[in-house]
A and B are shown apart, each in its own frame.
Chain A
Amino acid sequence: DARVTQTPRHKVTEMGQEVTMRCQPILGHNTVFWYRQTMMQGLELLAYFRNRAPLDDSGMPKDRFSAEMPDATLATLKIQPSEPRDSAVYFCASGLGMGASYEQYFGPGTRLTVT
């Protein structure tokens, strides 16, 4: 049963610290998404990659967030420096992109708390 995995599952850090979240997409999937979910904003797309190339990161605060895919089995999302308003659940999802119609499979999320 193939699944998207994310680490860590929970992270508590102090304001100003760097946070790195990791995601392993389902083997064979060529599209990876990073989302942030809060009660107020719902599920927001931060960035996504296809075949490891960044296609859209318009939803991401550029000054502090960065997303990369160093290889096909690893995607990372970094926040530096972190702020309390970054507290949220961060989901990674992967899919097999076929044009604009594709199903996404989500990882369990990283629950981030910045104090």
Chain B
Amino acid sequence: RKEVEQDPGPFNVPEGATVAFNCTYSNSASQSFFWYRQDCRKEPKLLMSVYSSGNEDGRFTAQLNRASQYISLLIRDSKLSDSATYLCVGPTGGGNKLTFGTGTQLKVEL
């Protein structure tokens, strides 16, 4: 099993919809995670940190489910500009480095 796994998508949703992505992780001792956004032919950019209590920033909510070992990203009222690939990141290698998932592609359509 990969240390960090994501559904590659694509998720095609209409503008205004709510969409959620999950990311599973294998290291049960992991405590902190991140969501990054990557636009086509651009570098990944930090979107949100996900700590044990979760995190909310405007239309974006990130949650951590330790029992089932996954993190989630919820996007409400999706915009065309939300179209991108969303990468989850978790600590691996004994917690000394971070591993990126392969990303979930989101396409928001009119």
Chain A interface (Cβ within 8 Å of chain B)? 35, 42-43, 45, 48, 55-56, 91, 99-109
Interface centre among A55, A99, A101, A105 (most CB of B within 10 A): A101
Interface residues of B in 75-102 (CB under 8 A from A): 87, 89, 91, 93, 95-102
Pick the most buried of B91, B95, B97: most chain A CB atoms within 10 A of its CB. Answer: B97
Q: Which residues of A contact B43 (CB under 8 A)?
A: 91, 106-109
Asked if A100 meets B100 with Cβ closer than 8 Å, knowing A43-B87, A106-B45, the reply is no
User: What are 17 A-B contacts defined by CB distance under 8 Å?
Assistant: A35-B100, A42-B100, A43-B44, A43-B87, A43-B100, A45-B97, A45-B98, A48-B97, A56-B93, A56-B97, A91-B43, A100-B32, A100-B96, A101-B31, A103-B46, A104-B46, A104-B89
- Name the CB-closest residue of A to B48: A103
How many residues on the B side are at the interface (Cβ–Cβ under 8 A)? 22
Contacts of B95 in A (CB 8 A): 99-100
Which residues does B use to contact A, with CB under 8 Å?
31-32, 34, 42-46, 49, 87, 89, 91, 93, 95-103
Give the residues in chain B near A104, CB-CB below 8 Å: 34, 46, 89, 98
Inter-chain contacts of B93 with A (CB < 8 A): 56
Residues from chain A with Cβ under 8 Å of B89 in the complex: 104
Q: Which residues of B contact A42 (CB under 8 A)?
A: 100-103
